[in-house]
Amino acid sequence: MPHRGRTTAILLATGAVVVLLLGVSSFWADIVWLFQTDAERILGRWNVVSGILDGQAVPESALGYCIFEGENMVAFNPHGGNVTMVYRLDEDHQPGWFDITQPDGRSQLGIYEFNGNTLRICTSKEERPATFESKPGFEDSLMVLQRE
């Protein structure tokens, strides 16, 4: 019986250390996040978890993912193919400005905001949106992305 008690104590201590390390890791990730610029935060792969285009919800089966590398945003369609666009952030505004240039040279003006590992981007072909919404007839879009 004493052996079983010792094994239980070792397992409990190991579990406590793992929980502590996970908490410290999360803490340091939060600290690093505070000192990053938005240009650094956006880099990497983001899954599109919802989208609205011209006031209509985008079907879940059409939601893909985006990869931000340098000044390029590569949008991957789940049905195949991808589009590489040039993006530019301006974090001196609230909300931040997000502008993209399509491969054919057309531009869209937008806004963005981070909330932890969630990124919202709203763009329009006409003028920069003031709010995070997409209305019918305005040729605008709203995407919600989750960091992978």
The tens digit of pLDDT for each residue in 89-137 reads: 999 999 999 999 999 999 999 999 999 999 999 999 889 999 999 989 8
Whether cis (ω within 30° of 0) applies to the bond prior to 95 is yes
Q: What is the pLDDT, as a whole number, of residue 29?
A: 53
Confidence class of residue 28 from pLDDT cuts 50, 70 and 90?
A: low
Whether residue 15 is predicted with pLDDT greater than 90 in this model: the reply is no
pTM for the model:
0.77
- For the residues 13-28, what does the mean pLDDT come to? 53
Q: Which residues are 140's β-sheet partners?
A: 124
Contacts of residue 107, defined as CB under 8 A and 6 or more positions apart, other chains included, come to 99, 100, 101
Can you state the percent helix, strand and coil of the chain, rounding each to 5?
A: 30, 40, 30
Higher pLDDT, 29 or 93: 93
